[in-house]
Amino acid sequence: MNIKLIKEGTISSKKNLTVEFISSKDLKSHKDVELLQKAGFKAEQDTNCFLYGKNNLFCGVEKVSVDNVRSSCSVAIKNIKSTNYKSASFSVNSKNIKAVIEGVVLGGYEYNNYKSSDKKTALKNIYLECEKVEALSKAFEEAIIISEATCFTRDIVNQTPEDLNPPSFAKLAKKLAKDNGLECEVLGEKALRKEKMESMLAVGRASRHDSKLIHLTYKPANAKKIISLVGKGLTYDSGGLSLKPATSMVTMKMDKAGACATLGMIKAVSELKLDVEVHVFIGAVENMIGGNAYKPDDVLVTRSGTTVEVRNTDAEGRLVLADVLDYAQDKVKADYLFDFATLTGACMVALGQYTTGVMGHSSKIKHDISRSATKAGELTGSLPFNEHLRKLLKSSIADISNTASKPYGGAVTAGLFLDKFIKDENKNRWIHFDIAGSAYTESPWDCNVYGGTGAGVRMISEFIKSLEVRV
């Protein structure tokens, strides 16, 4: 499906479907109100009405806002793809162009790689009509790049664990590096052992696939800031010896979503050619069971020298991130250090399945992230660190336990565990993003369809763009 930005009035309306957004208030005075009322159309949010005789599709919006237009557009594109129209056009301006593009690209996304036959659609072209093409060309190009990077992320999340394992993840990263002019370094198990990353190695010990640490770098000529993005890359999580229930293991291919998101972020930034240096660090591991699996009661020595008592092998992501975060801090002196992980079901209990949990010490960065997320159309919620909860991670035989002694505040205690591995000089540069709820969905919402959502890509792309403005 091609998307083109064109001057209004340049396309024939005879075979093209014209899409119009309309609220219930505007419906009353619309020239086609009688026909629309006969069809039972009330212009409620996310409702559609075709007037085939006029080649028109009307999309209801509660009020004309960016979020409503994006959501309504996502519904519309699905309906258009089920018709025999070969093209459709949307009227855009500086306020809604990004929302329309996201609605079309993200709402119309399909992952059919494992289907035996491709799903056919007649729709070939989407035209975005505007008064002045030149005035909107930059916004158009940026929205396309970020939306496609989000779809790229979704594709990786949706791949099965048999196809996307730590070694093939490393190959994917190398290909992205080649395509986008990035630097790429991959550490195998021999190098990881040399780096004393025994916590990460323990998690992947029972897998037939070697664990990998992936480091991608985007380095523009005149970088104004440096940002390190760390991703949890559990290509599959069985829970280890603390085995998950069968129903909980379904969808565990999404446990790599944090790592996938960081790839989408560096892809977007490199194609936008932003003047911000970006480093991506991924711990690609598979948590399986076997005679050599790490066990509850083990004590692991992390790269930083901190010892961890294992009380639950299903709290494995934090063990991987402990080593990767320590490595990332030693390798790069960054202005910002962000990690992304499908870390806890507790985050969904706290914030619901649509919202990313944000934790850290810097109120300013959390505020800036919230502003970028709102502008990007993503939902975030701040979860405050609590020193009383930190006590729940105390271990009698090691420096820290990998799970809390009480089942309360699980998202926060997981964040506090990671905080143990953030150096003092980086405390106010670090933010932890728990995307356990927002990274994957089995029920479509907004511009998200079944499967990976690409959570974080739009938000962080917006944040990094803002760094250029603030410098």
The whole-chain average pLDDT of the chain stands at 97
CATH number at residue 227: 3.40.630.10
pLDDT of 106 > 90? The answer is yes
- Do the Cβ atoms of 169 and 153 come closer than 8 Å? no
- Mean pLDDT, rounded, for 420-437: 98
Together in a domain, 114 and 150: no
Which residues constitute the domain of residue 59?
2-131
The position carrying tokens 């699980």 is 410
How many independent structural domains does the chain possess? 2
Which band of pLDDT confidence, cut at 50, 70 and 90, is reported for residue 64?
A: confident
Together in a domain, 369 and 456: yes
Q: Is 307 within the bounds of a domain? A: yes
Report the first-to-last Cα separation within the chain, whole angstroms: 38
Together in a domain, 122 and 177: no
Q: Is 401 within the bounds of a domain? A: yes
Last residue of a domain, one of 83, 107, 131: 131
Count of CB atoms within 10 A of residue 270's CB? 23
**Which of 8-22, 220-234, 308-322, 419-433 is the least confident region?**
8-22
Together in a domain, 126 and 151: no
Q: Is 169 within the bounds of a domain? A: yes
Together in a domain, 127 and 158: no
pLDDT at position 470, please? 58
CATH number at residue 77: 3.40.220.10
Q: Is 414 within the bounds of a domain? A: yes
Task: Give which of 244, 228, 266 is closest to 315, Cα–Cα.
Answer: 244
Last residue of a domain, one of 131, 156, 183: 131
Together in a domain, 438 and 403: yes
pLDDT digits (tens, 9 = 90+) for 127-139: 999 999 999 999 9
CA distances in angstroms from 113 to 151, 160, 398, listed in the order given: 13, 10, 46
pLDDT at position 355, please? 98
pLDDT digits (tens, 9 = 90+) for 382-402: 999 999 999 999 999 999 999
Q: Is 138 within the bounds of a domain? A: no
pLDDT of 4 > 70? The answer is yes
Together in a domain, 219 and 101: no
* β-sheet bridge partners, residue 5: 128
pLDDT of 284 > 60? The answer is yes
- Mean pLDDT, rounded, for 252-276: 98
pLDDT at position 468, please? 75
- Mean pLDDT, rounded, for 252-264: 98
Together in a domain, 189 and 116: no
Q: Is residue 423 flagged as an active site residue?
A: no
Q: Is residue 208 flagged as an active site residue?
A: no
Which entry of 212, 303, 318, 429 is annotated as an active-site residue? 318
pLDDT digits (tens, 9 = 90+) for 348-392: 999 999 999 999 999 999 999 999 999 999 999 999 999 999 999
Together in a domain, 295 and 368: yes
- Do the Cβ atoms of 31 and 13 come closer than 8 Å? no
Which band of pLDDT confidence, cut at 50, 70 and 90, is reported for residue 469?
A: low
Q: Is 96 within the bounds of a domain? A: yes
Together in a domain, 123 and 44: yes
- Do the Cβ atoms of 271 and 180 come closer than 8 Å? yes
Last residue of a domain, one of 102, 131, 160: 131
pLDDT at position 51, please? 96
Q: Is 126 within the bounds of a domain? A: yes
Together in a domain, 126 and 174: no
Q: Is 158 within the bounds of a domain? A: yes
Which entry of 174, 244, 331, 420 is annotated as an active-site residue? 244
Together in a domain, 290 and 156: yes
Which band of pLDDT confidence, cut at 50, 70 and 90, is reported for residue 120?
A: confident
